[in-house]
Amino acid sequence: MADVSEATGLEKGGVYNHFATKQELACEAFEYAARLVCDRIEKAMAAETDALGRLRAFLDVYRRSPERSPIAGGCPLMNTAIEADDTNPELRRRARAAIERWRGLIATTLEDGMRAGDIVPIDADAAASTMVATVEGGVMLAKVYGDPVHIRAAIDHLESYVNSLDARAAVRNA
Amino acid sequence: MADVSEATGLEKGGVYNHFATKQELACEAFEYAARLVCDRIEKAMAAETDALGRLRAFLDVYRRSPERSPIAGGCPLMNTAIEADDTNPELRRRARAAIERWRGLIATTLEDGMRAGDIVPIDADAAASTMVATVEGGVMLAKVYGDPVHIRAAIDHLESYVNSLDARAAVRNA
């Protein structure tokens, strides 16, 4: 609470005028940070018309310079998932819901792509889990090493993976 | 400290007989947990004679049932990397060193495999980062969802990736 007082310039009592409890403040802060991340990914993906373009747009969000990407400070979804894990079931539930919103968007994109004949038949759920896992692990490494080379390696790998899912390239190369 | 007293049955003063400070206790607890994880991976890899076998043995550590694997409680390396991140530089340094020991072992294995003609030419450092990132992200998802399906998806993906690095299979399929 002392940090919040300092950052906002509000007295502790002033902060409590806006949030009934510390828990409410933590949850609202998480929802705000999660919305920033999810909105950014959704906006980038919505600008593309086909599934492969959307998946590449999602990867591009994490390829950009660390200062402008969700890497600065680490990923709030993962940070909250890990820090709230055994200690704060409500925050953990919210972290899981935000991750599922993101993972579900990727799975749906993969399914749309398969239906349109753009993407080879795969297990969309497993692929979405793998893509979110690889990005989150890459963000974690970039943060702990203080070096974006690790998230770039993860994104390069996922880009090759997305290319391997291209049904039309698979036909051309057959 | 109350949790440590309860778990050990020692009075707070008794705990401080063994550790001069809370920081020392946290660092020793981290080193112990990190050693368990790293020893397990190193032992599994050492039992194999070639690079591809070693990489598959590393993945198998994470494929086993969650109760017996480093997933229970999440990965202590990642948990510490994220929780200590901005608040405890000494713990963060130790988390980074443990992750680097693990990541370096995989990079060295990839380089050995390339020298032996078992593995196709790749950027070993980038591949090692990707493999650690994917495993760590998979562990995080499995923990936050309470479902090992997410780490299994990540491991299946990495197994396909390792298969794609097999230089002799590449020649056979050419």
At A122 the pLDDT is: 97
At A130 the pLDDT is: 98
Q: Hey, which residues 144-163 in chain B have their CB within 8 Å of chain A? A: 144-145, 149-154, 156-157, 161
Rg (CA), chain A: 19
Name the percent of chain A lying above pLDDT 90.
Answer: 51
Model-level pTM?
0.89
* Contact across the interface for B153 and A126, Cβ inside 8 Å: yes
Residue B133: which of A83, A85, A134 has the nearest Cβ? Answer: A134
Cα–Cα distance measured from residue A51 to residue B105, given in angstroms and rounded to the nearest whole number = 37
Report the alpha-carbon angle A113-A114-A115, nearest 5. 90
Cα–Cα distance measured from residue A142 to residue A137, given in angstroms and rounded to the nearest whole number = 9
Give the residue from chain A lying closest to B134, CA to CA: A134
Neighbours of B11 (CB within 10 A): 10
Our CA-based measurement puts residue A75 at a distance from the nearest CA of chain B, in whole angstroms, of 10
Cα–Cα distance measured from residue A1 to residue B129, given in angstroms and rounded to the nearest whole number = 37
Residue-by-residue pLDDT tens, chain B, 174 positions: 666 666 677 777 776 677 778 888 888 888 888 888 888 899 999 999 999 999 999 999 988 755 555 556 778 888 888 877 677 888 889 989 999 999 999 999 999 999 999 999 999 999 999 999 999 999 999 988 989 999 999 999 999 999 999 998 877 777
Q: Is the dihedral of CA B151, A113, A163, A154 positive or negative?
A: negative
Q: In this structure, what DSSP letter does residue B155 have?
A: H
SS3 string, chain A, reads CHHHHHHHCCCHHHHHHHCCCHHHHHHHHHHHHHHHHHHHHHHHHHCCCCHHHHHHHHHHHHHCCCCCCCCCCCCHHHHHHHHCCCCCHHHHHHHHHHHHHHHHHHHHHHHHHHHCCCECCCCHHHHHHHHHHHHHHHHHHHHHHCCCHHHHHHHHHHHHHHHHCEHHHHHHHC
Our CA-based measurement puts residue A129 at a distance from the nearest CA of chain B, in whole angstroms, of 6
Cα–Cα distance measured from residue A164 to residue A170, given in angstroms and rounded to the nearest whole number = 8
* Tens of pLDDT, residues A109-168: 999 999 999 999 999 999 999 999 999 999 999 988 989 999 999 999 999 999 999 998
Question: Does ipTM surpass 0.85 in this model?
Answer: yes
How far is the CA of B68 from the CAs of A8, A132, B61, B146, in angstroms? 46, 24, 9, 15
Our CA-based measurement puts residue B123 at a distance from the nearest CA of chain A, in whole angstroms, of 9
Tokens standing for B79?
């948990």
Residue scoring higher pLDDT (A57 or A73): A57
Neighbours of B61 (CB within 10 A): 19
Cβ atoms B38, B70 nearer than 8 A: no
* Contact across the interface for A137 and B141, Cβ inside 8 Å: no
* Contact across the interface for A137 and B133, Cβ inside 8 Å: yes
* Tens of pLDDT, residues A83-119: 776 778 888 899 899 999 999 999 999 999 999 999 9
Tokens standing for A124?
């969309």
pLDDT at A28 over 60: yes
Chain B positions touching A136 (Cβ under 8 A) are: 133, 136-137, 140-141
How far is the CA of B69 from the CAs of A94, B59, B62, B134, B148, in angstroms? 26, 11, 6, 16, 11
Tell me the mean pLDDT in the region A34-53.
Answer: 92
SS3 string, B95-143, reads HHHHHHHHHHHHHHHHHHHHHCCCECCCCHHHHHHHHHHHHHHHHHHHH
Q: How many helices (H) and strands (E) does chain B have?
A: 9, 0
Tokens standing for B86?
């901005």
Cα–Cα distance measured from residue B124 to residue B103, given in angstroms and rounded to the nearest whole number = 10
Cα–Cα distance measured from residue B45 to residue B104, given in angstroms and rounded to the nearest whole number = 13
At B173 the pLDDT is: 76
The H or E element containing residue B65 is none
Neighbours of A163 (CB within 10 A): 12
Cα–Cα distance measured from residue B62 to residue B32, given in angstroms and rounded to the nearest whole number = 19
Contacts 24+ apart (CB under 8 A), A43-47: A45/A105, A45/A109
What is the overall mean pLDDT for chain A?
Answer: 87
